[in-house]
Chain A
Amino acid sequence: MNVRIMEEKIVKIIMYLSIAIVLGSLLLVFSMVILKGIDFLNFDMITKVPDGGYYLGKGGGILNAIVGSLYLAGGAIILATIVSIPISWYLNQSNKKSKFTEFVRLSLDVSCGIPSLIYGAFVFLFLVSFHQRAALIWGIVTVAIFIIPILVRAMDEIMQTVNRDLKEASYSLGATEFETLKNVITRQAMPGIVGAIILAFGRGIGDAAAVLFTAGYTDNIPNSLFDPVATLPLAIFFQISSPYPEVQGRAYASGIILIIIVLLLIVISRIVSKRLMKYVIR
């Protein structure tokens, strides 16, 4: 009997330790980056583009990367949403519980698991064969291709949970399938959809590997879709590779900016979802 209680206690201790390690590492990740970067964080960083020799420790900021990331992720999320909503509509038609939709869901799940780097390489191969230069638009395409599977699956899961009675009520009033999908299911799923979109936006902003090949890199803010564009993760990556401690410090400061953007997105997604919740009939 004693052995059993001992075992229970030991296991509990292990569990507390595990929780402590996980939460502790989260805390460490945040505090370390913030402590290291806070001294280098200044107003110039978010208001100026790099001066000549920025990566040698001279003046300027990383506005190009901040704006570039927003352009890139913003464009990609618009493109991806336009494509994803109709696809999830198709998957959620009431008579579509077939082998085909199961196949689509499985292959989208597989696509979700593919490293973003590979999407980047894929689009890059197209650029090379069509003699295109890395530019904002190709970055947008890359990120869009890479978040479409994530978005569709998220929206699909949310639409599947919409109350059946509501759909039937809609049909019984004479609505067509499309009208039901558009006016009932999408509206009911809206909080979840908005949440998914904002989280995917965060994925797009934070991902460096996907656009490594396809978006190029520049010290300027792009003027057209065919200009190369800088992204925040890549700016961090280049700054941290610099041998100058001053520039490395700026990498940490840029890390803080990235963390703040992502945190803001998560908070916004929670608030917006909660706001929209009041239109949802349970």
Chain B
Amino acid sequence: MEFKNIFFSRQNINSLVRKGLFVPTFLSALIFIAIAVVLLVKSIPILSMYPITDLLFSSIWKPMSGDFGFLPFIMGTLWVTILSMIICIPISLFCALYLSEYAPKRVQITIQPFIDLLAGIPSVVYGLFGIILIVPLIRDSIAPFFNITSSGYTVLSGGIVLAIMVFPILISVSFEVFQAVPFDMREASLSCGATNWEMVKHVVITAGYPGLIAALILGFSRAFGETMAVLMVVGNVPIIPQSVFDPAYPIPALIANNYGEMMSIPMYDSALMFAAFILLIVVIAFTVLSKYMLIRIKARLGS
């Protein structure tokens, strides 16, 4: 035991923790950089063979004959993501506003676990839901209403399913932003004779503005990378969608669907890794931007 005490004295263990943990901590911080570098290295073959503008702006995708145009996938991702944000943003904001500003404490406490629950459901389940309800609904009711024949596997279905998935994230982040607005500011506004909504509009939303943007960006990047649920309902046809009733083929679906054969066709693996790289860069950019906004709002609200 004496032996142990010399080497593993309390002070030694302490300094071991202090210095020794630097390495794993540093490594964990480098995970995403490592991923970016590896993906980039893997996409060098295709980048050196085709000019990047061809890859990004060509719409012909025929890996067998060596045509790698990512435009359909980029556009597919944008269509689905933007549509889901259009559906999701207003609903989530009003929800968060209600929970934060209007709801009695008891309602707040009851609804919150449900929102958490919504966040915890695996995306495959949302995909199932899309297949059961959304796809037939679009095929049998919504598309015929506009005199369009559609299989139901469309941008619209992907957008709706994704919107439902992103609700909880957007609601809980924007709820926190609203809660961070100091109560003095609200009271000052109310005592000037503003109605509750005027107070919310002019004080809460204005003060929370950067935080809201951050919340939206977080939701957006979550939507952007979502795989399974969207893959199941969006049709996966590599064309550029012309309307919400067209099928689409988002980038994550492209990667997930084709990893099986990507080793058998020349350049295919490189092309898919380049797709993953595009996805990664967009997500990193969005997260850093939203973090920057959140830091700014914290500074502004002085907390």
Selected A-B contacts with CB under 8 Å, 22 pairs: A11-B94, A16-B98, A19-B94, A22-B95, A26-B114, A26-B118, A32-B132, A86-B24, A90-B25, A93-B18, A103-B29, A110-B284, A112-B287, A115-B279, A115-B283, A117-B227, A117-B279, A118-B279, A212-B256, A240-B232, A258-B124, A262-B120
Residues 249-266 of chain A: 1 if any B CB is under 8 Å from the residue's CB, otherwise 0? 001100100110011011
Q: Which partner residue on chain B sits nearest A90 by CB separation?
A: B21
Complex contacts, B102 vs chain A, CB 8 Å: 12, 15
Q: Name which of B30-38, B65-73, B138-146, B150-158 contacts chain A.
A: B30-38
C-alpha spacing A115/B228, complex, angstroms? 11
Of the residues A25, A107, A119, A252, contact of B29 by C-beta under 8 Å: A107
Q: Say whether A113 contacts B28, CB under 8 Å.
A: no
Please name 18 further chain A to chain B contacts, defined as beta carbons within 8 Å, in addition to the given A32-B128, A115-B283, sorted by A numbering. Answer: A4-B198, A7-B195, A12-B102, A15-B97, A29-B121, A29-B126, A90-B17, A90-B21, A104-B25, A106-B291, A113-B222, A117-B255, A121-B39, A121-B272, A206-B120, A208-B123, A209-B252, A266-B120
- B232 neighbours in A (Cβ, 8 Å): 237, 240
Q: Chain A interface mostly helix, strand, loop or mixed?
A: helix
Interface size class, chain B: 35 or more
Majority secondary structure of chain B interface residues (helix, strand, loop or mixed): helix
* Per-residue A-contact encoding for B214-243, CB less than 8 Å = 1, 0 else: 000010011011111000100000000000
The count of A-to-B residue pairs whose CB atoms sit within 8 angstroms is 241
Residue of A nearest to B128 (CB): A255
Interface residues of A (CB under 8 A from B): 4-5, 7-8, 11-12, 14-19, 21-23, 25-26, 28-29, 32-33, 36, 83, 86-87, 89-91, 93, 103-104, 106-119, 121-122, 124-125, 128, 145, 148-149, 152, 176-179, 181, 199, 202, 205-209, 212-213, 233, 236-237, 240, 251-252, 255, 258-259, 262-263, 265-266
Q: Interface code B139-173, partner A: CB below 8 Å = 1, 0 otherwise?
A: 00000000000000000000000001001000100
CB distance from A163 to the nearest CB of B (A): 18
Asked whether, in the complex, the Cβ of A110 is within 8 Å of the Cβ of B128, the reply is no
The listed residue (A5, A7, A237) touching B124 by CB distance below 8 A is A237
Q: How far is the CA of A237 from the CA of B29 in the complex (A)?
A: 33
Interface centre among A7, A29, A205 (most CB of B within 10 A): A29
A28 to B126, CA, bound (A): 10
Q: Which residue of A lies closest to B91 (CB)?
A: A18
Q: How far is the CB of B261 from chain A (nearest CB, A)?
A: 13
Q: Do residues B94 and A14 form an inter-chain contact, with CB atoms below 8 A?
A: yes
Per the bound structure, the CA–CA distance linking A152 and B28 in Å amounts to: 9
Whether B122 lies near A207 (C-beta < 8 A) is: yes
> Closest residue of chain A to B30, judged by CB?
A107
Instruction: Knowing A104-B28, A176-B10 are in contact, say whether A115-B120 is a contact too (CB < 8 A).
Output: no
The answer to whether B111 touches A113 (Cβ under 8 A) is no
Which residues of the other chain, B, contact A116 by a CB distance below 8 angstroms? 227
Chain A residues, CB < 8 A from B222: 113
A202-B32 contact, Cβ under 8 Å, with A33-B128, A128-B263, A209-B256? no
Q: Does B57 contact A (CB under 8 A)?
A: no
Interface string of B12-51 (1 = CB under 8 A from A): 0110011001101110111111110011001000000000
CA distance A33 to B218 in the complex (A): 28
Given the interface pairs A7-B197, A113-B222, A115-B225, the reply to whether A26 lies near B95 with Cβ below 8 Å is no
Picked from A36, A122, A179, A251, the residue with its CB within 8 Å of the CB of B14 is A179
With known contacts A5-B195, A266-B116, A110–B32 Cβ distance under 8 A: yes
A107 interface neighbour in B33, B92, B218, B252, Cβ under 8 Å: B33
B206 CB–A CB distance under 8 Å: no
- Contact residues in B for A26 (Cβ distance below 8 Å): 114, 117-118
Cβ-defined contact, A251 with B128, below 8 A: yes
Residues of B within 8 A of A176 (CB): 10-11, 13-14
> Do the beta carbons of B121 and A83 come within 8 Å of each other?
no
B14 touches A117 (CB 8 A): no
Given contacts A8-B196, A104-B28, A125-B38, contact A237 B228 (CB under 8 A): yes
Nearest CB in chain B to that of A182: its residue = B17
CA distance A28 to B30 in the complex (A): 41
B122 close to A104 (CB less than 8 A):
no
* Residue B244 is within 8 A (CB to CB) of chain A in the complex: no
Chain A residues contacting B192 (CB-CB under 8 Å) are none
Cβ-closest chain B residue relative to A23: B114
Q: Output the nearest chain A residue to B118 by Cβ-Cβ distance.
A: A26
CB distance from A105 to the nearest CB of B (A): 9
Max count, chain A CB within 10 A of own CB: residue among B25, B33, B118? B25
Cα A263 to Cα B125 in complex, Å, equals 13
| 10 nearest A-B pairs in the assembled complex, by CB-CB distance | A206-B122, A115-B225, A90-B21, A18-B94, A15-B98, A176-B14, A209-B227, A233-B124, A113-B287, A107-B29
Partner among B95, B196, B228 whose Cβ is within 8 Å of the Cβ of A19: B95
Give the distance in Å from the alpha carbon of A21 to the alpha carbon of B14 in the complex: 53
